[in-house]
Amino acid sequence: MRCPFCSHGETLVVETRESDEGDVVRRRRRCTHCDKRFTTYERSEISLPAVVKKDGSRVEFQAAKLRASMMLALRKRPVSTEQVDAAIDRIQDKLLASGAREVQSARLGELVMRELKRIDKVAYVRFASVYREFEDVDAFRQLIREI
């Protein structure tokens, strides 16, 4: 770690502390050259795959967009924020576990539908009706028969 004051390349760790949640490490450091102290923070970096859209363009995965689409389907449904958070966590865990650098938007949509089906059938039908772009009532009936 370079000293932010003199840019010397050698520093000593004087003190280390973890955050209460255990996801951040705070380190107090001292430069061996100018003897000044400074603080650094370490946190793990997770790299979710890029989302490949239908038109072939690639966008960064955004949990906020995922949440917004799920909340739209869950509008006026008796589902807690904790349930939505847990569903989003499960989706992100699956994406991370895949190790893929990219994920097709269709695959992401399927993961969302699976989670919605698990937590609220009405939200599942709402999301699926938009996501699968139903053209007629028969396709809608088929989806309802599935659940």
21 and 71 assigned to the same domain: no
Average pLDDT, the chain: 89
122 and 93 assigned to the same domain: yes
Residue 136, pLDDT above cutoff 70: no
Cα gap 89→93, rounded to integer Å: 6
Q: Classify residue 1: in a domain, yes or no.
A: no
Residue 139 neighbours by CB distance under 10 Å: 13
Nearest CA to 126 among 115, 116, 136?
A: 116
100 and 130 assigned to the same domain: yes
Q: What is the pLDDT of residue 29?
A: 97
Q: Is 23 helix (H, G, I), strand (E, B) or coil?
A: coil
Host domain of residue 139:
50-146
73 and 140 assigned to the same domain: yes
User: In this structure, what token pair is assigned to residue 46?
Assistant: 């997770």
Q: Is 43 helix (H, G, I), strand (E, B) or coil?
A: strand
Q: What is the pLDDT of residues 57-91, one digit of tens each?
A: 999 999 999 999 999 999 999 999 999 999 999 99
Selection from 10-24, 40-54, 80-94 with the highest mean pLDDT: 80-94
Cα gap 87→70, rounded to integer Å: 10
Q: What is the pLDDT of residue 60?
A: 93
Q: Classify residue 3: in a domain, yes or no.
A: no
Mean pLDDT along residues 45-59: 90
Q: What is the pLDDT of residue 11?
A: 96
C-beta of residue 18 within 8 angstroms of C-beta of residue 24 = yes
Q: What is the pLDDT of residue 145?
A: 74
